């Protein structure tokens, strides 16, 4: 079958040092007609310089509103193998850790029920099983759940949370990203599977301000590890960096954003009251410096891509919180209040970041019962258009504060 593939343009992409998705797909095209027709339709796209997919329809598994993206070829007669080509989003494990046994089970399921093609992983974090027919969706779901796997999110629901490797393989982790991701996912199964929000809501957990999941740019709720006390210093190890000829002055001291580092002789000195936890000095000298002991996380809300009001990075709503004794109630409570307020006052297809911009940060904070803090802004307002809520009424005779 692969013999009659005729994909000369795509085959140009088999050359060169970087691994080729064309070669890889070709390798299953013999046994998977879906894969073969995918290549054929893609070849036509390369010829014509346009895609040939139709707008998704409403497909899915029973009782779930999310987790499946419907997709149909615009040229089903020419490429029958991809006339249906839905993707199934499988909720990945925290930190994208696998054993070979577990992954092989999934691979077997998809070789049986789908195209045998995957995105490992989708941009949100899911394992994306790429392409199958409508009638295979329910069987795929059953086979997956039997092995302990469930679907991720799609549509206007909570999207599949994801996290950096965190405490599983990183000395910088300021909280347990892996556990939080698991707990949040389990706690909000209903919100994940049954879209009822104004729009999508993404969560990403990064263990420190390096933000290895790009949470601040790509998640409505970015949970980013942080510490409150001093950076831990091992002066002996620091001296070794100097002795090894590492240019501490140029590569660290001068790059500290608040210039709060000084070096005297072979000792490093950090003005921690002015450290903004950027991580740079720790990144450069991981043996000498480490995050502090009083660890927790900040929560930045509202990141998103440009559609429609312009891209946003998440903005600080919770400057500091910590999970103690595995008790997530405070966090759940915060999330619930936030969702409730957004749900009630947001409009359709309005991400929470755009919602906050529309109603204003002050209103949002009041709505979710949080106190304003200078930590939430770059600077206080510079325009004088202040909506004063308290004022004196005539009858107060200038004494008490009037009602609004």
Partner 1 sequence: MATEAKRVTDIGPPHYEKFLHPLIKENYGKWEFHETLAPGVLAHTGPNGTIYSVRMSSPRLVSSNFLRMVCDLADKYADGYFRFTSRNNVEFLLANKDNIEPLKKEIGEKGFLVGGTNNAISNVVHTQGWVHCHSAATDASGLVKAVMDELAEYFTTEKLPAKLRVAVACCLNMCGAVHASDIAILGLHRTPPRIDHETLPNLCEIPTTVASCPNNAIRPTSVEGKTTVKVDEDKCMYCGNCFTVCPAMPMADPLNDGVSIWVGGKISNARTEPKFTKLAVPFIPNNPPRWPEVTSKVKEIVEVYAANAKPFERVGEWIERIGWEKFFDLTGIEFTKYHLDDFRHAGTTYRRSIHNRY
Instruction: Classify residue 403 by its DSSP letter.
Output: P
For residue 56, how many other CB atoms are within 10 A of its CB?
Answer: 14
152, 90 in Cβ contact below 8 A? yes
Among 382, 390, 399, 404, binds a second copy (CB under 8 A): 382
Among 124, 140, 198, 206, binds ligand SF4 (CB under 6 A): 206
Q: Please state the length of the chain.
A: 404
Which one of ligand SF4, partner 1, a second copy, none is in contact with 270 (Cβ closer than 5 to 8 A by kind)? ligand SF4
364, 376 in Cβ contact below 8 A? no
Among 18, 385, 387, 388, binds a second copy (CB under 8 A): 385
Which one of a second copy, ligand SRM, ligand SF4, none is in contact with 377 (Cβ closer than 5 to 8 A by kind)? none
Please report whether residue 123 would count as binding partner 1 according to CB under 8 A.
Answer: yes
Which one of ligand SRM, partner 1, a second copy, none is in contact with 89 (Cβ closer than 5 to 8 A by kind)? ligand SRM
- Closest CA relative to residue 50, chosen from 38, 42, 60: 42
315, 364 in Cβ contact below 8 A? no
Instruction: Classify residue 325 by its DSSP letter.
Output: T
Per-residue binder mask for ligand SF4 (CB under 6 A), 153-192, x = binder: -----------xxx---x-xx-------------------
Which one of ligand SF4, a second copy, ligand SRM, none is in contact with 32 (Cβ closer than 5 to 8 A by kind)? none
Give phi and psi for 48, each to the nearest 5.
-90, -10
Please report whether residue 235 would count as binding partner 1 according to CB under 8 A.
Answer: no
Where would I find the H helices in 253-314? 280-284
225, 297 in Cβ contact below 8 A? yes
Strands 232-233 and 261-264: unpaired
Per-residue binder mask for a second copy (CB under 8 A), 271-310, x = binder: -----------------------------------x---x
Alpha-carbon distance 225 to 322, whole Å?
Answer: 9
Of 176-184, 262-270, 328-336, 337-345, the segment contacting partner 1 by CB under 8 A is 176-184
Please report whether residue 278 would count as binding ligand SF4 according to CB under 6 A.
Answer: yes
In the complex, what is the shortest distance from the CB of residue 12 to ligand SRM, in angstroms, rounded to a whole number? Answer: 22
Please report whether residue 148 would count as binding a second copy according to CB under 8 A.
Answer: no
Size of the site for ligand SF4 (CB under 6 A): 27
Q: Which is nearer to ligand SRM, 70 or 395 (CB)?
A: 70
Alpha-carbon distance 215 to 139, whole Å?
Answer: 34
Structure tokens at 402: 């009037």
Task: Give the residue at shortest CB distance from ligand SF4.
Answer: 207
Which one of ligand SF4, partner 1, a second copy, none is in contact with 261 (Cβ closer than 5 to 8 A by kind)? ligand SF4
Among 245, 273, 384, 397, binds a second copy (CB under 8 A): 384
Please report whether residue 383 would count as binding a second copy according to CB under 8 A.
Answer: yes
60, 142 in Cβ contact below 8 A? no
Strands 315-321 and 295-301: antiparallel
CA distances from 286 to 31, 51, 186, 232, 241 (A): 49, 47, 34, 10, 10
Tell me the three state secondary structure of residue 317: strand
Alpha-carbon distance 177 to 163, whole Å?
Answer: 6
Please report whether residue 130 would count as binding ligand SF4 according to CB under 6 A.
Answer: no
Please report, as ranges, the residues that interact with a second copy according to CB under 8 A. Answer: 254, 259, 306, 310-311, 382-385
Please report, as ranges, the residues that interact with ligand SF4 according to CB under 6 A. Answer: 164-166, 170, 172-173, 206-208, 210-212, 225, 256-258, 260-261, 270, 275-282
């Amino acid at each position: 079958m692969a013999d009659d593939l005729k994909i000369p343009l795509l085959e140009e992409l088999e050359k060169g040092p970087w691994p080729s998705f064309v070669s890889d797909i070709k390798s299953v095209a013999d046994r998977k007609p879906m894969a073969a027709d995918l290549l054929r339709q893609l070849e036509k796209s390369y010829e014509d310089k346009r895609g040939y997919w139709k707008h998704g329809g409403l497909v899915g598994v029973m009782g779930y509103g999310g987790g499946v993206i419907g997709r149909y070829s615009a040229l089903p007669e020419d490429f029958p193998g991809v006339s249906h080509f839905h993707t199934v989003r499988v909720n990945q494990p925290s930190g994208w850790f696998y054993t070979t046994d577990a992954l092989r089970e999934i691979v077997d399921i998809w070789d049986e029920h789908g195209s045998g093609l995957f995105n490992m992983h989708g941009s949100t974090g899911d394992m994306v099983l790429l392409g199958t027919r409508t009638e295979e969706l329910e069987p795929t779901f059953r086979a997956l759940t039997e092995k302990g796997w469930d679907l991720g999110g799609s549509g206007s629901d909570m999207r599949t949370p994801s996290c950096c490797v965190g405490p599983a393989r990183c000395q910088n982790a300021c909280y347990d990203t892996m556990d939080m991701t698991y707990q949040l996912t389990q706690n909000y199964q209903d919100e994940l599977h049954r879209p009822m929000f104004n729009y999508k809501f993404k969560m990403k957990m990064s263990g420190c301000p390096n933000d290895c999941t790009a949470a601040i740019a790509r998640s409505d709720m970015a949970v980013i590890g942080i510490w409150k006390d001093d950076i831990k210093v091992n002066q002996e190890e620091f001296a070794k960096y100097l002795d090894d000829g590492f240019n501490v002055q140029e590569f660290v001291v001068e790059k500290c954003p608040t210039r709060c580092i000084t070096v005297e002789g072979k000792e490093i000195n950090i003005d921690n009251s002015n450290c903004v936890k950027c991580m740079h000095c720790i990144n450069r000298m991981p043996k000498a410096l480490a995050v502090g002991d009083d660890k927790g996380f900040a929560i930045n809300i509202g990141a998103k891509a440009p559609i429609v009001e312009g891209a946003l990075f998440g903005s600080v709503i919770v400057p500091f919180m910590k999970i103690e004794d595995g008790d997530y109630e405070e966090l759940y409570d915060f999330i619930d209040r936030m969702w409730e307020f957004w749900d009630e006052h947001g409009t359709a297809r309005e991400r929470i970041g755009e919602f906050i911009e529309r109603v204003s940060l002050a209103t949002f904070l009041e709505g979710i019962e949080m106190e304003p803090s200078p930590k939430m802004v770059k600077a206080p307002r510079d325009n004088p258009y202040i909506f004063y809520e308290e004022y004196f009424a005539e009858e107060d005779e200038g004494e008490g504060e009037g009602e609004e």
